[in-house]
Amino acid sequence: MSGIIEAKNLVKTYRRGREEIQALRNVDFGVDEGEFVSIIGPSGSGKTALLNVLGCLDTPTSGSLRLNGIETCGLKERELVKVRRDNIGFVFQQFYLMPTLTARENIELPLLFSHKDCNKCRIDEVLQMVGLADRGDHLPGQLSGGEMQRVAIGRALINDPRIILADEPTGNLDSATSQMIFELFRELNRKGLTLVIVTHNLELARQAQKMYTLRDGQIVGCEDLRCVAGAEIRQDVR
């Protein structure tokens, strides 16, 4: 497999008044195409900062980041917009759905912003993919929390990205619904999508193929869960 995400010596420093906060400290991080990776760590460990840098939502203070073979450090904002649009779908803890738009229309939004044709068949395909084929005409207020997160995932998928970056995607959901969302992520991964998911939930994190632990802005552990005896069996029977 080839590295679709390759980060070397990432440093991210913020200033808060006179205080300097080092959110990331010389982070090396790589993801192969088609991998499902989770990132865990305590609050303030740098998880969201890392995800924002990987998604080109924020620029590192120093270091190198290659996405799908493209060196992103030093690119202008309009070039970063193209990298994000062509490669990445984002899912967040908050669903960020437009309350006056239906599930179908929320999923369609990125097509409007990227000036792509609103292909009805593609939207139907995505609704089917996230298990909402019969809920496309419902407003967010008529959907459950799990259904709203599925709409958000559908919105992330509509531009056919190669990578999904998800920041605490089950943080607002109960345990049963969280498991269903992770099952959806695993199904998308089986179809070849690369996933990087930040979560506080260790049980869910261990359902990925590889788990990184972040603390104080540094990666302090990496566990290849495919090498754990019986891991594949446990995942397949869930």
**Could you give the strand order of the β-sheet that contains 70-71, starting from the edge strand earlier in sequence?**
19-32, 3-16, 62-67, 70-71
Q: Please state, in angstroms and rounded to a whole number, the distance separating the CA atoms of residues 105 and 158.
A: 11
Q: Which CATH number fits the domain that encloses residue 37?
A: 3.40.50.300
- Domain that includes residue 212, residue range: 3-236
Q: Please state, in angstroms and rounded to a whole number, the distance separating the CA atoms of residues 37 and 60.
A: 21
pTM beyond 0.85: yes
**Closest by alpha carbon to 208, among 217, 199, 216?**
199
Query: How many domains does the chain divide into?
Result: 1
pLDDT in tens, the chain (238 residues): 569 999 999 999 998 888 889 999 999 999 999 999 999 999 999 999 999 999 999 999 999 999 999 999 989 999 999 999 999 999 999 999 999 999 999 999 998 877 667 778 889 999 999 999 999 999 999 999 999 999 999 999 999 999 999 999 999 999 999 999 999 999 999 999 999 999 999 999 999 999 999 999 999 999 999 876 454 434 443 3
Count the Cβ atoms, other than its own, within 10 Å of residue 107.
Answer: 28
Structure tokens at 30: 């790589």
Report whether 131 contacts 150 (CB < 8 A): yes
